[in-house]
Structure 1
Amino acid sequence: MSLKDDLEAEVAETFETKWTTRDGQVVPSPADVKLGNDAVKLKGTVLYADLSESTAMVKSKKDWFAAEVYKTFLHCSAKIIKHFGGTITAYDGDRIMAVYLGKSKNTSAVKTALKIHSARQHIIQPALKKQYPNSTFELKHTCGVDTSNLFVARTGVRGDNDLVWVGRSANWAAKLSDLPNTHATWISAAVYDVMHESVKLDGNKDNMWEKRSWTPQNGATIYRSDHWWKL
């Protein structure tokens, strides 16, 4: 069978085969989902933590310096994600994706974002400045958080495959993390409306979040904050 014939057969089979789905209680691994039209359904909150302006950094800085920035940011983000019960589902270049489940999934994801902001400001940046006192480089990032139903399928080929996360929260969290890094955390109204008061109000009981209208998403209500939580 030629490559063209093989591709045509696989594509036709995917479109013709009925899906088998089941409700999930935990974040699946690729081994938990079949390569065919098999999927797990979840109610999940997705967080993306994205290192800002990495393209410019790679162009203007030494490769080893950029690698150190990548490694420290992703390491701190991953540790904080796991501490708050998130499951890391992907490392995508300069960003990390995580999924949270359960009753407190929105609060946990937002706590993660606020702690990542703290780690960037109070751990990574000071350590960078200590090691390279003449450097003017300032690390910046953005976290995006949304919640929705998710449809988790397995994609790729045998021996080389991974999960694909289909649902608004996976898409919106990634897009929210692309918004201006003047505010380190951007969340959807669906997250804001149900998260605990402890991540809405600061120590003076003032709201930490600013309401905005997201024009590219038909004016959807979103919230932004530049607050951080002490580690």
Structure 2
Amino acid sequence: MALRSDIEGDIAKTVNTRLSTTVRTDFALETVPDPSNMGYSEGVYLPSTYLYADMADSSGLVAVSPAETVARVMKAYLSVSTRIIRANNGHIRSFDGDRVMGIFAGNDRYSRAAKSALQIKWAMNSLVQPAIASQFGSIKESGWQLRHACGIASGKSLLVRAGFRGNDDMISVGTAPNLAAKLSDLRQDHFSTFIGSGTYNKLNDAAKLSKGVDMWRGPFSYAMGGKTYSYYKTSYFWPLK
């Protein structure tokens, strides 16, 4: 009965308890709430930009490589992506298998998220792929290529703390995180960065143009939840210095 009592307590604290929500108005701040600093009945509405970086064809890697090799490749993908997101003042709030979610806040969040995606592409192609092909015979022999996609979308989302002490996580509720996640699932030849039109329209010149030429193609349409959203895509990359 102890488990049932605990579950009934969880329901009382979630379903039967209203959230105490606040709306962030300090848009210039680049900070994102940390779940450990939030109450379990607290939520924050935050204007933000979401980036999902998703490694492609992990099942193909599993088919040609030992489990330890797969684990090391996935760790490299997540570690490098996380480091780049953080370098651009993004905040990591969730890992999901071979996918990582970054949240960007602040006035220039759109461009920092786009820059992160373009830098992740360069790092995977120019640094990680050569390293894993050199290190792991199974990858070199099979010709498996590290491919991925980044999805980016912006909007006001509700951030709430979930789980219980020792197993905390942050839930993001809104169109932006959903669209960013869906865009990261796209696989379109050499295109690997997909951004919603709301993000594209807010890009600064550095994140939008290359030698005066628009790096992004679009708009294209994506259907989600009975609605249609516009997005742009690019095959460009941003070298790390």
TM-score (normalizing by structure 2): 0.88
Provide the rounded CA distance (Å) in 1 between the counterparts of 2:163 and 2:223: 34
Provide the rounded CA distance (Å) in 2 between the counterparts of 1:61 and 1:70: 12
Provide the rounded CA distance (Å) in 2 between the counterparts of 1:5 and 1:75: 40
CA offsets 1:125-150 (integer angstroms, 9 cap, x no match): 12223334545111100000011112
Conserved? CA contact 2:44–2:160, under 8 Å: yes
1:176 to 183, 186, 199: 183
Conserved? CA contact 1:45–1:100, under 8 Å: yes
2:113 is aligned with 1:106: no
Conserved? CA contact 1:115–1:229, under 8 Å: yes
Identity %: 33
Counterpart of 2:37? 32
Relative distance call for 1:134 and 1:194 in structure 2 (3 A) is same
Number of matched residues?
A: 229
CA offsets 1:30-72 (integer angstroms, 9 cap, x no match): 221112x211221111101000011221233211221221122
SS state at 1:174 partner: helix
Task: Give 1:30's aligned amino acid.
Answer: P
Counterpart of 1:161? 168
SS state at 1:219 partner: strand
2:90 is aligned with 1:86: yes
SS state at 1:16 partner: coil
2:156 to 133, 140, 149: 149
Q: CA RMSD in A?
A: 1.8
Provide the rounded CA distance (Å) in 1 between the counterparts of 2:86 and 2:14: 35
2:146 is aligned with 1:123: no
1:138 to 145, 152, 156: 145
Provide the rounded CA distance (Å) in 2 between the counterparts of 1:9 and 1:82: 37
Gapped regions of structure 1 (runs ≥ 5) = none
Provide the rounded CA distance (Å) in 2 between the counterparts of 1:114 and 1:21: 34
CA offsets 1:190-209 (integer angstroms, 9 cap, x no match): 10011112222222x22211
Shift of 1:5: 4.5
